[in-house]
């Protein structure tokens, strides 16, 4: 009987050990799965080095300042598309290519010089649960071209936003490949003609590929690679414009995303309704906002190289650019994966 009791004790101890081992493995698997589904895993894939590599191409002299409809801009567009192809990201459903043609006649404006036909560029990651609801992440990829033989490279304006959108797309694609793609669909939209009057974003808003009623928000990124003249000693800020104009949810979610991730100083100076610069009306988000779509604009402010040939990629602070792109990604993650789309509870004023 004594031997039997000893034997039973050994069996019980072995069973207990196996149970604990199984519980530990299960716990570790859950932890690993939790890490994979966390935005931090993909947020940290946004790389200063990759941003730099792409920007040195986008803002190179070869692109001749990316003036709307000119050969340099078209070369920049081809580079952008090739990067999306390398990521495994295709053009949207319902489109037959990465291009949305914007005709010259549409961009005709008073006595301004005639522009050539140009193109918006779009890439798309379909949502896993709410594919018909669309989050737009936008940046303009045009600049002002060449003047008197000098190239106006536009590294900050808006090469920085252009490469930022590409890097955000890469992070979302990594999540999708790991089985944690966005619940809502995301349209990565590189618009043309911004410098001549917000033409590309206006064209998309009037000729949308997806119904505007299904477009939950626009995150617009225009100049995020530098410090402005008001913040020469601060490399931890970003101007936030428009977040509270149409949606208290969008404003709240951005502040939460910032606190949970990069902790930039969110500066609302240019969101002041009485600010003389009236920047809210001067970038591509506005063409979404005026259609009632909650919109937010990330901006680093004006510096001495703005619209000059000295806006070159060597002057970009790539760590800062990455940090700001991470905030846009963190907000996009919340918008794409939240249970409800952001409520429209403001009048836009």
| Parallel/antiparallel/unpaired status of strands 130-140 and 184-191 | parallel
Helix (H, G, I), strand (E, B) or coil at 107: helix
Average pLDDT for residues 266-290, to the nearest whole number?
97
Give per-residue pLDDT as tens, 247-256. 999 999 999 9
Please report, for the chain, the start and end positions of each structural domain, with discontinuous segments joined by +.
40-337
Write down the pLDDT at residue 34: 45
Residues 6+ apart with CB under 8 A from 213: none
For the beta carbon of residue 310, count every other beta carbon within 10 angstroms.
15
Would you state the structure tokens that stand for residue 33, as one six-digit string?
A: 């799965």
The CATH label, of 3.90.1150.50, 3.30.365.10, 2.60.40.10, 3.40.630.10, for the domain at 40-337 is 3.40.630.10
Q: 46 and 325 in contact (C-beta within 8 Å)?
A: yes
CA dist 204 and 271 (Å) reads 24
Write down the pLDDT at residue 31: 42
Task: Evaluate if residue 1 carries a pLDDT over 80.
Answer: no
Task: Evaluate if residue 161 carries a pLDDT over 80.
Answer: yes
Helix (H, G, I), strand (E, B) or coil at 151: strand
Lowest-confidence segment of 7-11, 204-208, 219-223 by average pLDDT: 7-11
Task: Evaluate if residue 35 carries a pLDDT over 90.
Answer: no
CA dist 320 and 339 (Å) reads 31
């Amino acid at each position: 009987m004594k031997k039997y009791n000893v034997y039973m004790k050994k069996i019980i101890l072995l069973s207990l050990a196996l149970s604990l081992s199984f519980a530990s493995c299960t716990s570790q698997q859950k932890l690993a799965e939790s890490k994979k589904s966390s935005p931090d895993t993909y947020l940290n894939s946004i790389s200063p080095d990759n941003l730099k590599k792409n920007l040195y191409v986008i803002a190179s002299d070869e692109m001749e300042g990316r003036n709307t409809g000119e050969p340099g801009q078209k070369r920049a567009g081809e580079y952008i598309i090739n990067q999306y192809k390398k990521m495994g990201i295709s053009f949207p459903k319902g489109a037959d290519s990465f291009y949305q043609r914007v005709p010259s006649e549409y961009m005709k404006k008073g006595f301004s010089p005639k522009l050539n036909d140009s193109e918006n560029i779009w890439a798309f990651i379909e949502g896993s649960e709410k594919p018909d609801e669309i989050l737009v992440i936008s940046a303009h990829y045009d600049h002002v071209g060449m003047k008197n033989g000098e190239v106006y490279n536009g590294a900050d304006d808006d090469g920085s936003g252009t490469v930022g959108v590409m890097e955000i797309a890469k992070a979302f694609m990594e999540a999708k490949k790991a089985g944690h793609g966005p619940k809502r669909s995301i349209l990565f939209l590189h618009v043309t003609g911004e410098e001549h009057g917000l033409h590309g974003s206006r064209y998309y808003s009037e000729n949308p590929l997806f119904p505007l009623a299904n477009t939950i928000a626009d995150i617009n990124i225009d100049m995020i690679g530098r410090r402005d003249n008001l913040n020469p000693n601060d490399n931890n800020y970003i101007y936030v414009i428009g977040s509270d104009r149409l949606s208290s949810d969008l404003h709240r979610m951005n502040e939460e995303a910032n606190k949970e991730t990069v902790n930039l100083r969110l500066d609302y100076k240019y969101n002041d309704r009485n600010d003389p610069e009236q920047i809210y009306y001067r970038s591509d988000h506005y063409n979404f906002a005026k259609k009632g779509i909650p919109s937010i604009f990330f901006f680093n402010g004006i510096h001495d190289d703005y619209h000059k040939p000295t806006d070159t990629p060597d002057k970009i602070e790539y760590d800062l650019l990455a940090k700001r792109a991470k905030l846009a990604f963190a907000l996009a993650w919340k918008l794409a994966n939240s249970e409800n789309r952001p409520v429209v509870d403001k009048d836009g004023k």
